[in-house]
Amino acid sequence: MTREVVWDRGVSLPGHRLWLDPLVVRSFAFISHAHTDHARRHKEALLTPQTLALIPEARRPRGWRMLGFGEPMRRGDGRVTLYPAGHMLGSAQLHFEHDGTSVLYTGDIKLRQPGGVPPTFVPKADILILESTYGRPHFRFGDPDSTVEAIARWCRLALDSRVTPVLLCHALGKTEEMMLALAPYGFEFALEKRCVSCARDYAAAGRPLPGWVEFNGDPIAGRVLIAPPVGKDEIRRLGRYRTALVSGWAKDAEFARLFGADATFDLSDHCDFDELIEVVERSGADQVYTVHGYTEDFARFLRRKGIRAWALEANEQLALAL
């Protein structure tokens, strides 16, 4: 029974009435992290306290069961344990054990971390359900610390030339982690309005941020501006500015070109191709299901290596992880 994993508008362990990041409202569901593609108003949601704090009021589940990392919880005659996923504040992997068999659902996951933080731990499991956003071999990212240093240099060069450096980052998670990574370089920040509530929530959920002001169109000399990648209208009022896309999609020449940023940096909160392989190896799983992004490609690659692997979603979706 435990080995049965299906796609039912979200990952489902049907034998255990357990849905993992379902796309429709369920009576009981795990929400791996606070990004809007995962949060739904479930009757009861299993999540970490940080994830609950980061989900906007309108998307909050109606009831919840908060669970900290490493605290086992009974679910029927099985056992659930959450582990950090390294994707954003509160993001969790779910480990489920039942009758001598274990399943690991990674949710959105990132192994390598900048700033001397150890890589994300991957628990052992028989069955792995893996988020495979960047499951093609051209997605190989540089060392996060070197990339942060390159971003800092790029920002400093712009500021020295009296040009505003604009980092295009997803508002929730990426913006705040970018600020924290750049803080040791002594920058001051301005945030575009869509990043403002996310930054406030992040700080309130337990991760204090370096000082920032809200960008309201007035000049912000000497500051690094962070804005979401889509809709750059506000930024155009700045006059002299330079933009950099900070995303794993920097590795996709076509996408980067379409995007039209002046520079790109391949700093991502998702695993690159090699990290995905590492998750599979470290889990020790002999059965792998892929979800999100290049699911078919990555499953095919694993099968060639002799691992039983399938894309779980019926239709491959290209989930732009911005």
Binding site for Zn ion (CB under 5 A): 35, 108
In whole angstroms, how close is the CB of 289 to Zn ion at the nearest point?
Answer: 18
Cβ atoms of residues 82 and 48 within 8 Å:
yes
Select 108 or 176, whichever has its Cβ closest to Zn ion: 108
* Cα separation, 78 vs 271, whole angstroms: 29
- Tell me how far apart the alpha carbons of residues 257 and 32 are, in angstroms, rounded to a whole number: 32
Minimum Å distance from CB 172 to Zn ion? Answer: 9
Closest CA to 83 of 35, 122, 28: 122
CB of 270 to Zn ion, least distance (A): 8
Nearer Cβ to Zn ion (61/248): 248
Q: Which residue has the tokens 């290209």?
A: 318
- The answer to whether 241 and 164 have CB atoms below 8 angstroms apart is yes
What gap in Å lies between CA 299 and CA 190, rounded to an integer? Answer: 41
Q: What tokens does 133 get? A: 């956003």
Q: Which CB sits closer to Zn ion, 16 or 35?
A: 35
Closer to Zn ion at the Cβ: 35 or 251?
A: 35
Q: What span, in angstroms and rounded, lies between the C-alpha atoms of 82 and 100?
A: 18
Closer residue to Zn ion, CB minimum distance, 30 or 154: 30
Q: What's the min distance (Å) between Cβ of 52 and Zn ion?
A: 16
Give SS3 for 213. Answer: strand
What's the closest the beta carbon of residue 84 comes to Zn ion, in angstroms? 14
CB of 168 to Zn ion, least distance (A): 17
Contact 296, 311 (CB under 8 A): yes
109 vs 152 by CB, closer to Zn ion: 109
- Shortest distance, CB of residue 87 to Zn ion, whole angstroms? 6
CB nearer to Zn ion: pick between 31 and 155: 31
CA 103/CA 126 separation, integer angstroms: 6
Q: What are the residues whose beta carbons fall under 8 Å from the beta carbon of 132, sequence distance 6 or more?
A: 276, 290, 291, 292, 293, 294, 295, 297, 298, 299
Q: Which residues pair with 246 in a beta bridge?
A: 265
